[in-house]
Amino acid sequence: MGIDHAGGREGARVLPKGVHYIFQVVDAAAAERADGRRIPVVLITREHGPGGPETAGAETAQSWLVSAYRDRLCRKRGPGREGLDSLVPHAYVDDAALGAPEEPHIALVESVRDQLRRSMGGSGVLRFPCLDPCLTILRAEVGVGSGKSTLLRDKLYADYKAGHSWLDWLPELATAVGKQAPSGGWLDVVRIPASRLVRRVYMKRLRRRHRWLEGVLQAPGGDFLGTALEIVKDGPQRGNEPLVQRILLMALMRDLAKAVRGPWPGWLWGRRRPGRPWPFVLLLGTVGDLGTPSRAFLDRYTDLARTEDPAPLMILGALTGEVPPYAVPVVPDVAATPPGPGRTAAMHLADRLSVLYAGAETAGVHVVPLSAEPDEGMDADWLRANPKVVPPRVRRRARMRPYLPVAVAAVLLLAASTLVLLPGPAPSAAPSAASVKPPSCRKTKTTDEIVGVTDGLRCTLAGPRDTVLRELERIAGEQNKALTPGRAYRSVVFLAPLTNARENDNAVPSGIPGLRGALLAQRRINKAQARRMPVRLLIANAGEQFTYGSDWSKDREGIDVAQMIIDAAAEEHVAGVVGITQSRDESLQAARELDRAQIPVIATGTVGSRMVDFDAPPRYFQVSPTNDRIARVLADFAVNSEDLRKHTGPGPATAVVVHDPADEFFSEDLADKFGARYTEAGGDVRKIAYLEKGNDRNTTDVAEEICHTVRATNGFVLYAGRSGVMPNLFRAMQGSPLCEKRKGTIAVLAESVDPDLITAPERMGREYPYLTMFYSSSNPIDDGDRKHAYTRFSLDFRDMFHRDDPDIEAAGGFDALNVLSEVINAVYTAHSDGDVRPSDVYTHLRNTGITHLGATGRLRLDGRHNYPPDKAVYIREIDPRGRILPRLACGILHNTDVATTWGPKGRPHPCPRDP
């Protein structure tokens, strides 16, 4: 402390005369036994000097003294160590430092709890079994409906579980016992009841411990959860500030009283007397006028202290406002200690305060007036010689006591393990380098690709020149390796075409953008709060056009990547699959294989109607819209867009639909649905076939036919083909003289666009100057507003991959993994058995569902919606200068707005809605 006496060094604070006598008494009270008595509350203030009221600045002198006393309760750590060690458990609250929280009556109690917990030092761990659940209840948002009690129960247990790490490995041990025991089949019989046993015991204990809450809220009847719903957010009693803080104070007082009593039975722990009997010190830096946070706290605590059991809480405050009506001035007892030589007024005051702390009189709130005269040197000298409180001595058995139950539990656990277990790792523990079965990576003979499953460490799916996939594998390997050993996790497989056949190795595989998004989601998830289950990401390559992804293809050389995932699911702790990225027979068959193995799939980039129709596998979900919705939006845009008409003329122009009649899942499906809607609106449709594989026509011939038809009809191109073969067609169109229009350029409206044109839009004007691109997307544009999920996603994407903008399908992969992770976490929290199975994930999706605000907008998936209804669809234009211009936005957008119309102001057009 920067202190000195009157006339001392310049800039030092001058102490009140005789204050060290008061500090001596307070020191002794802070370090002595509480012994179940009520401890008085002491407020210090300053006397007025002989000249009248206090001078400017004197009003805060008592606040400075309380703050200075806090320094007496801590000491600096030894050489080479930063920070302070607490000598006595304490908390310091100042209204100014508290800030301006929405609910200061809650924030103040929460601050006291956190500071007391941190200041225990070597005195053990301070737990708040009454207060912590009360704070969880106050923070809980349970919405409306019949499931409120269940949701509140799950939140309470989740917070309890987060503070008790043994709940993570205990169920894993039970699983290991079941698998290793000779009669391991019993595991399936008892797994579900056992997973809920700890939660049931905790909830019964919680109800018993909080019976007093029913009386406070005047809601008797034994329904703890029903009573607690009164004070959740939006609860009927939540706005009752005095009642809420009264509940928190009662919980705090009960917890502190229990902390000095110790556990039952005392004889088992050698606790004939409490091991940490001293009181907990609370310093109030500013006890102001009526209504201020510290004054309101003191008012309610004083009222409770009269009727509740004594709590070992010693409060020392600085009175900066009016004297509370219940406070009693401390007057020296001159009759008991008559004046004499060497007996000053400050000494008489200290004697009186010592009697109060000794409990000889009824406890209450007492005001101690400090002298207005400055210290002449004695007080400053004493404080320099006695800078710290002498902490209470902790007995040896008290130091050993916290380790005794751990030692007993360890012995019992070792005995049980010796009888039942064989050596082996816990099944849900994060893997070590030697514990994971090597994933399979097989090179194909027909296409010269490497397909299979990897964790990014054991083998590679990248060819000799595939630096892009190899870099993504490196990132996956590093993030998987960073999982905390021994902590529960679940694996998610990203399954998609990640390579091309040797003849198409210049094109971007459809799964690469989504894999980038999934890797970013994994990084975010694993850096999140401790209570969230980490994700280990496995990478599965199905080969170009999903050739090796299932048992459907005739050319798969006996390779079935979906079956590889199924075979590894148990050992790798697979909870689900994301990705897919293509609507094909092969990808749907892979989803069916995984469905038969009870593994759920959340796809991204798949839009074909047959992927989600009545015959779709029940465990298949997707975060992308369907062709039916996209076709209706494209048709409405083609009929009404003034931007498109700049290239075609007035009225609905002829749509030259480029499609692949052999691609029934995607291209033909989109062409038929667009044609039906566009024809219904009065437009004309001309179809031209452009095959993805097995082309019997030269690409140049197809390009010339397209350009000839567009010139003859003054129409536009509706590209319904795959993005992978778009570059070849565009190069052929650019090289054909027929594609050079006399005025303007040829407009192309596409659903699946070459990803490179989105990440480098300047290429459009440079390489294809005779074409103007309009394309649809389910991703919003980064508007720079950090409140929007897509903006945050874009910033993180650029930081992680050092690219200018996210790939067109990256946000979909990001959302798919986040959705699956949220479901995994919900199941993990609710079931508490550490063994989240794929069937549990699907059951939660089907019965409870999930609503997730992702980078691509709000996503709702459940038993009735295997794709998000009214998913956002955007249409944008790439102009000759390489700018991407928004032209249409329909559906539930990324900022949660619902766009029901589009078009120019004053002439809006209705957006298509899902039935």
Q: CA 47 → CA 62, 159, 165, 363, 784, distances in Å? A: 11, 48, 53, 23, 58
Q: How many Cα neighbours within 13 Å face the side chain of 204?
A: 6
Residues sharing a CB contact under 8 Å with residue 691, sequence separation 6 or more, in sequence order: 660, 661, 662, 697
d(C-alpha 490, C-alpha 522), whole Å:
11
Classify domain 442-623+786-861 at the CATH superfamily level: Response regulator (3.40.50.2300)
The C-alpha atoms of residue 577 and residue 764 are separated, in whole angstroms, by: 35
Give me the count of residues in the chain.
915
Beta strands in 440-573 (DSSP E): 441-443, 450-454, 490-496, 535-541
Show the tokens assigned to 18.
Answer: 């005789």
Peptide bond into 265 cis (omega under 30): yes
Please write the tens of the pLDDT for every residue from 41-57: 999 987 654 433 343 34
Crossing angle between the packed helical segments 561-572 and 585-596, to the nearest 10 degrees? 30
Q: Does residue 376 contact residue 5 with C-beta atoms inside 8 Å?
A: yes
pLDDT band at 58 (very low <50, low <70, confident <90, very high): very low
Paired with 4 in beta bridges are 14
Position 555: which residue type?
D
Q: Comparing C-alpha atoms, which of 707, 717, 730, 746 is closest to residue 655?
A: 717
CATH number of 627-777+871-910: 3.40.50.2300
Instruction: Count how many Cα atoms sit within 13 Å of the Cα of residue 530 in the half-sphere of its side chain.
Output: 10
Per-residue burial over 436-456, b = 16 or more CB atoms within 10 Å of its CB, e = otherwise:
beebbbbebeebebbbbbbbb
CA-to-CA distance for 643 and 638, rounded, in angstroms?
9
Share of the chain above pLDDT 90, in %: 36
Instruction: Give the pLDDT confidence of 122-168 residue by residue, as tens digits.
Output: 666 788 889 999 998 888 887 666 668 888 887 887 777 777 666 65
Q: pLDDT confidence of 857, banded at 50, 70, 90?
A: confident
Residues 6 or more apart whose CB falls under 8 angstroms from that of 899 comprise 872, 889, 890, 891, 893, 911
331 by Cβ neighbours in 10 Å (0-12 / 13-18 / 19+) ranks as exposed
pLDDT in the model for residue 880: 81
Q: How far apart are CA 755 and CA 513, in angstroms?
A: 8
pLDDT in tens, 716-738: 999 999 988 899 899 888 888 87
Phi, psi of 664, rounded to the nearest 5 degrees = -70, -25
Tokens of 313: 């809480």
> pLDDT tens digits for 262-281?
554 444 443 334 445 668 89
* Per-residue model confidence as pLDDT tens digits over 599-655: 999 999 999 999 998 889 999 999 999 999 999 999 999 999 999 999 998 888 999
Amino acid at 516: R
| Structure-token pair, residue 246 | 């009264």
Per-residue pLDDT tens digits for 306-351: 888 888 888 999 998 899 999 988 887 655 555 555 567 788 788 8
Contact 451, 548 (CB under 8 A): yes
Indicate the burial class of 185 (C-beta count within 10 angstroms; 0-12, 13-18, 19 or more): exposed
User: Mean pLDDT highest for which of 46-50, 114-118, 392-396?
Assistant: 114-118
**Taking all residues of the chain, what is their mean pLDDT, rounded to a whole number?**
81
In terms of C-beta density within 10 A (0-12 exposed, 13-18 middle, 19 or more buried), how is residue 472 classed?
Answer: buried
- Grouping H, G, I as helix, E, B as strand and the rest as coil, residue 539 is strand
Q: Helix (H, G, I), strand (E, B), or coil: what is residue 877?
A: strand
CATH 3.40.50.2300 segments of the chain: 442-623+786-861, 627-777+871-910
- pLDDT number for residue 401: 56
Distance CA 336, CA 712 (A): 117
862-874, pLDDT tens digit by residue? 888 999 999 999 9
State the residue for tokens 């009270």: 29
Residue 733 near residue 771, CB atoms below 8 Å: yes
**DSSP line for 336-364:** TS---TT--HHHHHHHHHHHHHHTSS---
CA distance 609 to 664: 10
Lowest-pLDDT range, 336-345, 405-414, 827-836? 336-345
